[in-house]
Structure 1
């Protein structure tokens, strides 16, 4: 059975085993995407624990409704403040280690670029200057012209399929209310965000659209064309910083969950770095990159070689 956390929480069954993919994306008691989900969250807490309290999470629901759990965790893929807090994830990891039930996944089977690629990308996003590792025949390219990158992605899609443009959430979603509007306009290119949230990659017209983090997390592509927006740039001292004004995901910078009382620019930077870390590791055969902010553009151009 494939279930959402809400379906597990509402179930009358007690499952023998629940395997949780992307445990870090489970929610804590925070403002949800809709009023219906906010109400459900409280009702499930009351049903399972007798009261609705702030410390109950969707992970607690799963534990209450299953005898055993297999949790796949990568805190570096948490992208919104209502995801499980770092403290909750750390507690789970400590408990697993103490019980000798912690099993690190030391290799990844998505990107055909060797074991060092994911860490290489994450280090660059943290601002660490590192040499490019041996990527074999992995096709990592840097583009100064967005139109050229779009044409390259179309060509890869014609050759092998599953090639798409994706971007950080640094542009308003005008086309959601006005289908004739364009959301992203760069280098003479006019583009729209994904027209559907459900299985966007395989939907009609997706090749001409731009996918957000919420449509590609958990998916594999053959080639990903990644637009790093103005929400990530270099500070005057050369460090990588977040631009709160340029980041347009309202739910992504909402004072909620473990950040309810203080959501700093450093907290936002963690989420934005995580978003780009995910986007830059979707492409199995290759990743093409275009960067908006001038300083960061120059640094990554040199890093990617």
Structure 2
């Protein structure tokens, strides 16, 4: 796509200029869901590796803009440089590592966590950070060992465990040039980088002419109009349904119909999955004591609606292609960053329509992601319902923009279902 190719070319020009003049730099690639941020990141690293080895340009490609970087001087500039890609999300990191394994000149050791960067003996020359908005600030991590590691890395890099240091600070301290792929509206937990931190780094990049926006849709066939429609609906507006072309957006009134449709689409097109907001507890969590000893078919169900039952995703790595995915429901933590042909989205009772105000509101009693509502005791931050509502609406915006060909929506709150029916029009 021209939008992504333009961004890659402009980033390479800026990067080589900074390398040549020995300037440290932070670049930002920003775009809505489906604009190809991950594709740009992987392509950048592949191109840098190819230039370093003077590999990858044949006669048919000679003379295009990027081929100019294979000329004398540029390969020498990159030779011996340490390059890596940081992926905060475990599931997506596993999938990208597989891509790196298959690509000539790349290997999975180049795919890193923020902790890998913080612990590394040698600094990196170039780091690309996918889903950079999912980097953490100083908040309670998922385990005691990671809390200990967070403190150790801060002390090692900065001499003190200041509560102000974030994983973004690690990236910037341990790389001369970092390229952040982000969308501030895809933060989904309070532990993610705070909006003010993201805003500050975006502002710095714009002031330095190192901000590269992506606007062309690579995922959703309905394009940017659909993305804007979804965002407006979740914000409580009553937008007109845009012309979606052949994109199949439907509000489904019966949960059994939703399940059957997704199975049918999976047979026809593949990669069609059910997803949901975190409005049900995870009874079948394989990390619970003794759960792994219980056969999958005998584990408790997590989600029950009108007699239909499902378990949450039993695989936390690359769930979408796992053997049992079609019989399970994926959460935000296993689908963010992925593409589906058709997405079935269940909007749980964590979002409801306020009958008095007509606004879409968050219901804390129906939200079961403990990390999603956890206060930051270290920093003395108590998150209000209004603040958590922003994360929950971001979650649903991500889920509703996974489908390439179509999205089917089931809404648990009856009043909210009626509101969306009036907006979507087409229903089944």
- Scaled by the length of structure 2, the TM-score of the pair is 0.70
The aligned residue for residue 158 of structure 1 is 267
Q: Which of 108, 113, 118 does residue 222 from structure 2 map onto?
A: 113
Q: Secondary structure at the match of 2:112?
A: coil
The question of 1:101 aligning with 2:221 is answered no
Q: Which runs of 5+ in 2 are unaligned?
A: 1-109, 292-297
Contact 1:82–1:258 (Cα < 8 Å) also in 2: no
Match for 1:278 among 390, 394, 398?
398
Match of 2:156 among 24, 29, 47: 47
RMSD: 1.3
Alpha-carbon distance, 1:108 to partner: 2.4
Q: Which residue of 2 aligns with 1:294?
A: 414
- Contact kept, 8 Å, 2:163 with 2:379, in 1: the verdict is no
- How big is the shift at 1:13? 2.1
Distance 1:304 1:259, change over 3 A: farther
Q: Which residue of 1 aligns with 2:180?
A: 71
The answer for unaligned runs of 5 or more in structure 1 is none
- 2:141 aligned with 1:32: yes
Matches of 1:119 and 1:5, distance apart in 2: 32
Secondary structure, counterpart of 1:29 in structure 2: coil
Counterparts of 2:114 and 2:145, CA distance in 1: 14
| Counterpart residue number, 1:216 | 335
Q: Is 1:250 the equivalent of 2:365?
A: no
Q: How far has the Cα of 1:257 moved from its partner?
A: 7.7
What secondary structure is seen at the aligned counterpart in 2 of 1:116? helix
In the superposition, the TM-score normalised over structure 1's length comes to 0.97
Report which structure shows greater RCO (CA 8 Å, sep ≥6): 1
Query: In 2, distance between residues paired with 1:256 and 1:158?
Result: 45
- Using the TM superposition, give the Cα deviation of residue 262 of structure 1 relative to its aligned residue in structure 2, in angstroms: 2.5
- Residue 254 of structure 1 deviates from its aligned partner by 0.3
SS for the counterpart of 1:290 is: strand
Corresponding residue pairs, total: 305
Q: Is the 8 A contact 2:350 2:363 kept in 1?
A: yes
Partner residue, 1:9: 118
Q: What does 1:123-142 align with in structure 2 at a 5 Å threshold?
A: 123-142=232-251
Report the alpha carbon displacement of residue 258 of structure 1 after superposing the two structures with TM.
9.5
The structure whose Rg is larger is 2
Is 2:376 aligned against 1:267?
A: no
Q: Deviations over 1:92-148 (max 9, x none)?
A: 011111111112212221111122111110110010100011111011111000100
What CA distance in whole angstroms lies between the structure 1 residues aligned with 2:378 and 2:229?
29
CA contact (8 A) 1:81 1:259 kept: no
Whole-angstrom CA distance in 1 between matches of 2:340 and 2:188 = 20
C-alpha distance in 1 between matches for 2:391 and 2:273: 22
